[in-house]
Amino acid sequence: MRRPRAKRKKTLVAVVAGLALAGLGLALPNVTAGAAETNPATRAQASCGATDQQIYRPPVRVPDEPGRVIACRETQLPHVPGNIAMNAWKVQYSSKDNAGKGMAVSGTVAVPKAEWKGPGSRPIVAFSPGTFGLGSQCAFSKQLSGAFQDEYEGANIAALLKAGYAVAATDGAGYLDGQTHPYVSGHDAGHALLDLARAAPAVPGSGLDAKTKVGLSGYSEGGAASLWAAQLAKSYAPELQVIGAAAGGVPGDLKVVAKSLNGGAFAGFLVDSMIGLAASHPAMPFDEVLDDEGRAAVKKAKSHCLAGTIANFAGAKIESYSTDKLTLEQIYALKGTDGKTWGQVLDEQRLGMGIGPKGSGATYEVGFPVLQYRGLAEEVIPTSTQDATRKTYCQAKVTTQWKTYPGEHLSTDQLATDDTVKWLGDRFAGRPASDNCSSP
């Protein structure tokens, strides 16, 4: 079902303004009382009896095998519109960070109650949301289940559920207590998405088949996660039957994005990215180069969700936050204890490098089609890097469908919903994917 046209026209700035008037950051997740476990990682998953506290508490030990359910809790999703009959769970599951170290991640699994009438078993869409901010209260699973801050992806979840698909929506790493979200760290994001697709069938009562077809989907930060999951699927999760990846508004080259964001209306995303990459790459210099203003900025950024991040950092320049007033180029030259420079770390997050189709022997073999899209009035992520990511996929001979929409950043996410759901449905049905790489 399409959303009303009036909602489609809202820009990201307009939504932020409205949320600011409504009062930001006041809602907290409901916590169900219950006895704390000393090590929830060892609990047998016969039922989903974890408390809210246990879902967001890091386990004493993360299971060695990624994609294991560590804790789960039945929940309601009031911020998924449409009164869809479903079963839903908050989950904590095992994954791996960019260095291969075990980490626990939170997320949501939702399954329609309506009988699946398509071919085979009910498919799973592994969904990664767009940017919500670094505050622990911003976790997608918390917002969907009632602790609303400023999430905008509920209607996308609804559209997938109405189509009959199960949804495994990751929060992304770093939303457990005391952690920092590794914002824009590619391998962390890709692993977290693939591992929830692995974990979803093990949620008691989900009724999902571990061998079912899996689609990947996301927009903006989530679009990057979807493509990273696509690039990593063969090597990291070869047992998953991934049939396609949909990705929109993709920040393909972080250096291009950083230059555009610095000093602009959406500079808060640059601040979050530096914090996120520092958290996910601890060998890199960060705390030691900050001045008092920089330390205050980090503390502030870690406390806000989307609207607060944009509002508090509009016009901010990265040069203001270091003792030596370092420019982006000077930061890129700084070396970590492992000998890498910050510039190399950012280059490692660049999408489309080393990719190729199945059997090509490329570093990242993408053996299924991808859908990429962006808005014609995009104002957050430079269109040049989105177009370049599409071009790189096409040149690598990965089957790529490309589409543009007459919207800016936020509204394009909404405008693309119906097409994305249909595209994934065609892949689940086994219909061949078209390729329009020869089009402008």
Model confidence over 291-317: pLDDT tens digits?
999 999 999 999 999 999 999 999 999
**254-348 under CATH 3.30.750.210, yes or no:** no
pTM: 0.91
pLDDT at 295: 98
User: Quick one: DSSP state of residue 34?
Assistant: -
Mean pLDDT for 201-208 is: 98
More confident residue, 439 or 408: 408
pLDDT (0 to 100) of residue 222: 98
236 contacts 195 by C-beta, under 8 angstroms:
no
> Is a pLDDT exceeding 80 seen at residue 347?
yes
pLDDT value for 439: 86
pLDDT at position 110 over 90: yes
The CATH superfamily of 10-18+42-253+351-428 is Alpha/Beta hydrolase fold, catalytic domain (3.40.50.1820)
Least confident residue range of 36-50, 55-69, 240-254, 342-356? 36-50
Residue 196: its H or E element: helix 186-199
Mean pLDDT of 55-70: 98
pLDDT value at residue 12: 55
**The residue to which tokens 């950024």 are assigned:** 301
Residue bearing tokens 């696509």: 230
Would you place residue 47 in the very low, low, confident or very high pLDDT band (cuts 50, 70, 90)? confident
* Residue 352 CB contacts under 8 Å (≥ 6 apart), including other chains: 227, 252, 388, 389, 392, 393, 396
Tell me the domain boundaries of the chain.
10-18+42-253+351-428, 254-348
Tens digits of residue pLDDT in 118-175: 999 999 999 999 999 999 999 999 999 999 999 999 999 999 999 999 999 999 999 9
Per DSSP, the residues of 65-119 read STT-EEEEEEE--TTS-S---EEEEEEEEEEE-TTS-EEEEEEEEEEESSPP-SS
Same CATH topology for 10-18+42-253+351-428 and 254-348?
no
- Rounded to an integer, the average pLDDT of 210-229 is 98
**pLDDT computed for residue 18 by the predictor:** 46
Q: What is the DSSP pairing of strand 102-112 with strand 124-128?
A: unpaired
- As a whole number of Å, the end-to-end CA separation of the chain is 30
- Average predicted confidence (pLDDT) for the chain: 91
User: Mean pLDDT, to the nearest integer, of 110-114?
Assistant: 98
Mean pLDDT of 349-353: 98
Average the pLDDT over each of 43-52, 283-292, 351-360 and give the range with the smallest value: 43-52
Cα gap 319→114, rounded to integer Å: 54
| Helix 292-301, helix 306-313: angle, nearest 10 | 150
Per-residue pLDDT at 21 exceeds 60: no
Report the pLDDT averaged over residues 254-275: 98
> Distance between CA 232 and CA 238 in Å, rounded?
9
Return the percentage of the chain with pLDDT > 70, whole number. 90
Q: Which of 276, 145, 157 is nearest to 218 (CA)?
A: 157
Q: Tokens at residue 208, please?
A: 């999902």
Residue 407 pLDDT > 80, yes or no? yes
Which DSSP category does 259 fall into? H
Please give the pLDDT value at position 440: 81
The candidate with the shortest Cα–Cα distance to 374, out of 416, 332, 418, 330, is: 416
pLDDT of residue 46: 58
**What's residue 383's pLDDT?**
98
C-alpha dihedral over 361, 362, 365, 367, to 10 degrees?
-60
